[in-house]
Chains A and B, each alone.
Chain A
Amino acid sequence: MFLHNLKYSLKTLFKNKTLIFWTFAFPLILGTLFQMAFQDIEKNETLDTISIAIVEEKENNIKNIFEELEIEDKKMFSIFYGNEEEAKEKLEQSEISGYLILSDTPKIIVKENGINQTILKYVVGEIIETEEIMNNMITYEISQNGVLTNEFYQTLYENIKKIELENKIEIKDISSRNLSYTLIEFYTLIAMTALYGGILGLYLINQNLANQSSNGKRIAVSPASKRTIIISSALAGYIVQLIGIALLFLYTIFALHINYGEHFFFILLLTLIGCLAGLSMGIMIASIFKINENTKTGIVIAFTMLSCFLSGMMGITMKYIVDKNIPILNIINPANMITDGLYSLYYYETLDRYYFNIISLIIFSCFMLALSMQSLRRQKYDSI
């Protein structure tokens, strides 16, 4: 009986195009879109070479320093030298971020606010500051020795360089290297797939209950044990869910080249439990609400989308905002349990937060099943 029902439950699920679309195809499509849209966004966060123009009205030391900056290894600027007309034209066409007019006091011309413009300003500022420092040093030398020796003047620049090199405040970067936040998008995708799996459980259990469907009535009057039928249907739902998740992993890893990091076993464990949470949510909705099946599916889809939205699917800052301001909302949000578990695995070195999420998912699943239990065990009904 168990195998007979399992076989046909699987057959039913695989033949149901709507279910297969939402649990198999939709995550893959969304994943592809994520990959296409986000693959360059982090690269764009790091600095490109900034195109500028320099218009030299009077000979100025600054030009030499910029020339030096241009040939450095990590090339910060690419510089066009020319007259103001040309520079203006280039700015208008957005070919350069801004241009520098060198006269008695240097002046920067930009079109709009922005990061490149700010950096240009900072660099010019630093050059001017260095001049100021040298002036101050000279004033100091004169106040100390009364005269300014030629020798002092000549070594001043080198001395400053020396101080810079020897007495440097060491800045030590201790941040984790795993900072790729677009990965969160794929975590929410895993969460979505796991929870969408709920509609598989929902569909099958709905077919098993006499008070929910005519097929359920037919099963109820047969000599098949209700418990066997329900357990085997739930298992069928879980199997199909796992196939969907496996497809998602295979596709994202091999076709989209997503690197989920080293802890693949832990990722898998969390995902398996996440699927269980989705399944039990579907079973709960199937068994305790007495409404049209399409409405139930709608509830699962809407609830999943909302949970995923709160855990960062449509913009990862959403997860952070909820975590920071209304933490309880995300503690009880199953999509976030999955997303946060994967995130903590990726970003944190300890596993505390990961285990917290695993336990949360187990509690969530048990809670869902406990809610459904009374309805699932029921053999006779008040009304059908």
Chain B
Amino acid sequence: MTVFKAYLKVLNKNKWMVILYTVILIFFAGFNMKTSDTRGFVTEKPDILIVNEDENIGITKHFINYIKENSNIKEIKEDENARNDALFYRDVNYIIYIPKNFRIDFLEGKNPEIKVKSTGDYMAFLSEMLVERYFKIANIYKSIETNEEKLEMLIENTLQKETEVEMTSKLDTDTLTKAAYFYNFANYSILAGSVFVICFIISSFKEEKVRKRTIVSSHNYRKYNRELLLSNSLFAFTLWLFYVLLSFILVGKAMLTSHGIVMILNSFVFSFTSLTLAFFIGNLISNKEAISGIVNVIALGSSFLCGAFVPMEFLPDFVITISHILPSYYYISNNEMVKTLEIISLESLQPFFINIGMMLLFSLLFIVLTNIVTKRKSS
């Protein structure tokens, strides 16, 4: 109990670090996890800004309505700088400038020019398809129909032709993506938070004065070490439990499905691996000032390279290859895999268990290394 009490005291001093990493987790996860509860096929909608200098009537109005139906129309302050910023930060993918007298010029066959600004990504490509398609149809019908209203009718009817799309997956991909996002990001919080605190506590306890006092005390040294180990495990476990609870709040019921439970299991194993890593680092490094730097590098490095921040599919191949040497890779791979798994069964989870095995192997490695380090130091 003495050790545990002292432990809580040191922990209390470090509470701000834990709170900081947790707040970052909530902030990032909560911020990036906007969901729409949809089942079945929906088209992707680009974000488009229309700057209309023409009168909002006739064919111009019809065109704008068509764009509105097929995209998310953005309202941006009427200021060119604000529009440019919006484009740069991908708040809009495409800006359409409709010039003055566009409607008249178009109807008179003057082929007016439309200016656009584009982010050049696939959403911008979709936007361009929309614009081109509309005017292609409009131009063709203009050759046979001069009445503006009838022209609009013709265009309308043609554009309404829908292709049937069937979606095979019945998975609630949106919510599962959200859950995977949360647990991927938790990679950073678990590593930064728990490893930092545990390292700090181990080195505090190791500090010369404390050590002398504890050896002198009647407490058996081995028992003392065991209590420290137990306290640290308890801390790691509590932190993990807290993050799981947080995922229930942020993600919701989906965490109770078999998919969710598998993800929770995954994070439990990863927390254990982090604990062993923390023990290794804590016993290796005796300089308190160095801890913050080392933990930051490990946590940020693992998170960036293994896809906690930037999705794995966007990472270059060589980075993925490198990330195989980090336990985070196996943890995040599992989240990504579970997210798309159609059926959860022992058979389909085979690769999942291989990754779990890898994490456990890492833990074993860290435990062995810790033992080597402590033996070297004591001799």
Q: Do chains A and B touch in the complex (CB under 8 A)?
A: yes
Which listed segment binds A: B154-162, B328-336, B345-353? B154-162
Q: Quick check: A174 and B116 within 8 Å, CB to CB?
A: yes
Instruction: Check B132–A107 contact: CB distance below 8 A.
Output: no
Q: Find out whether the CB atom of B114 lies under 8 angstroms from the CB atom of A136.
A: no
A44 at the interface (CB under 8 A from B): yes
- A37-B305 contact in complex given A108-B166, A125-B162, A171-B131, C-beta closer than 8 Å: yes
For chain B residues 68-101, which have a beta carbon within 8 Å of chain A? 81-82, 84-91, 95, 97
- Whether A303 is near chain B, meaning CB under 8 Å from some CB there, is no
Q: Is A106 an interface residue (CB 8 A)?
A: yes
B144 lies within 8 A of A140 (CB): yes
Number of interface residues of A (CB under 8 A): 76
- Whether B258 sits at the interface, judged by CB under 8 Å, is no
**CB of B186 to closest CB in A, whole Å:** 15
Partner of A164 from the list B117, B139, B290 (CB cut-off 8 Å) is B139
Check B140–A164 contact: CB distance below 8 A.
Answer: yes
Question: Are A112 and B169 closer than 8 Å at their CB atoms?
Answer: yes
Q: Which of A17, A18, A110 contacts B41 (CB 8 A)?
A: A110
Task: Give chain B nearest CB distance to A223 CB in angstroms.
Answer: 34
CB pair A46–B293 under 8 Å, yes or no, is no
Q: Are B91 and A320 in contact (CB under 8 A)?
A: yes
Please report which residues of chain A, range 13-36, place their CB below 8 angstroms from some CB of chain B when the two chains form the complex. 17-18, 21-22, 25-26, 29-30, 33-34, 36
The reply to whether B163 and A125 form a contact with Cβ atoms under 8 Å apart is yes
| Cross-interface CB contact of B126 among A18, A45, A119, A179, cutoff 8 Å | A119
Evaluate contact between A171 and B90: CB separation under 8 angstroms. no
Contact of A37 with B315 in the complex, beta carbons under 8 Å: yes
B193-201, B207-215, B266-274, B296-304: which lies at the A interface? B296-304
Pick from B118, B165, B166, B168: contact of A173, CB under 8 Å: B118
Is B316 within 8 A of A40, CB to CB?
yes
Q: Does A132 contact B (CB under 8 A)?
A: yes
Within 160-178 of A, Cβ neighbours of B (below 8 Å) are at 160, 163-164, 167-176
**Inter-chain contact B126/A118, CB cutoff 8 Å:** yes
Taking a contact as CB atoms under 8 Å apart, the answer to whether B169 and A174 are in contact is no
Query: B221 an interface residue at 8 Å Cβ cutoff?
Result: no
Please determine whether B88 and A47 come into contact, CB atoms closer than 8 angstroms: no
On chain A, the residues within 8 Å of B293 by CB distance are 18, 21-22, 25-26
A40, B315: Cβ atoms under 8 Å? yes
Most buried by B among A17, A173, A175: A175
Binds A, one of B104-112, B244-252, B275-283: B104-112
Chain A 34-66 interface 0/1 with B at a Cβ cutoff of 8 Å (1 = within)? 101111111011110000000000000000000
Q: Report whether B167 and A347 are in contact in the complex, using a CB–CB cutoff of 8 Å.
A: no
Query: Is B61 interfacial (CB 8 A cutoff)?
Result: no
**How near does chain B come to A326, taking the closest CB pair, in angstroms?**
14
A93 to B: closest C-beta gap in Å: 12
- Whether A117 sits at the interface, judged by CB under 8 Å, is yes
Taking the complex as formed, is B242 at the interface, i.e. its CB lies under 8 A from any CB of chain A? no
Q: Is the CB of A110 within 8 A of B168?
A: yes
Is the CB–CB distance between B109 and A41 below 8 Å? Answer: no
Q: Say whether B118 contacts A111, CB under 8 Å.
A: no
Judge if A79 is at the interface, Cβ distance under 8 Å: no
A36, A91, A132, A316: the one within 8 Å of B158 (CB): A132
Looking across the interface, which residue of chain A has its beta carbon closest to that of B302? Answer: A33
Would you call A136 and B89 a contact (CB within 8 A)?
no
- Known A-B contacts A39-B316, A169-B111; the reply to A30 vs B300 at CB < 8 A is yes
From 177 to 229 in chain A, residues with beta carbon under 8 angstroms from any chain B beta carbon are: 179, 181
B 294-318 binary contact with A (CB < 8 Å = 1; else 0): 0011001100110001100111100
Inter-subunit contact A40/B165 (CB<8 Å): no
Q: Is B37 an interface residue (CB 8 A)?
A: no
- Whether a CB of chain A sits under 8 angstroms from the CB of B8 is no
Chain A, Cβ-Cβ closest to B307: A37
Q: Are A113 and B41 in contact (CB under 8 A)?
A: yes
Which residues of the other chain, A, contact B163 by a CB distance below 8 angstroms?
Answer: 106-108, 121, 124-125, 128
Instruction: List 7 tightest A-B contacts by C-beta distance, closest first.
Output: A320-B89, A45-B121, A175-B117, A33-B304, A169-B135, A170-B113, A118-B44
**Please, could you name 9 A-B residue pairs with CB atoms under 8 Å apart, sorted by A?**
A33-B300, A41-B314, A109-B166, A113-B167, A115-B123, A125-B161, A170-B112, A171-B113, A343-B88
- Beyond A112-B169, A175-B118, A347-B88, 20 additional contacts (C-beta under 8 Å) are A18-B289, A18-B293, A29-B300, A44-B313, A45-B119, A46-B120, A110-B165, A110-B166, A115-B44, A115-B126, A117-B41, A129-B159, A140-B145, A171-B113, A171-B131, A172-B115, A173-B117, A174-B117, A175-B95, A314-B28
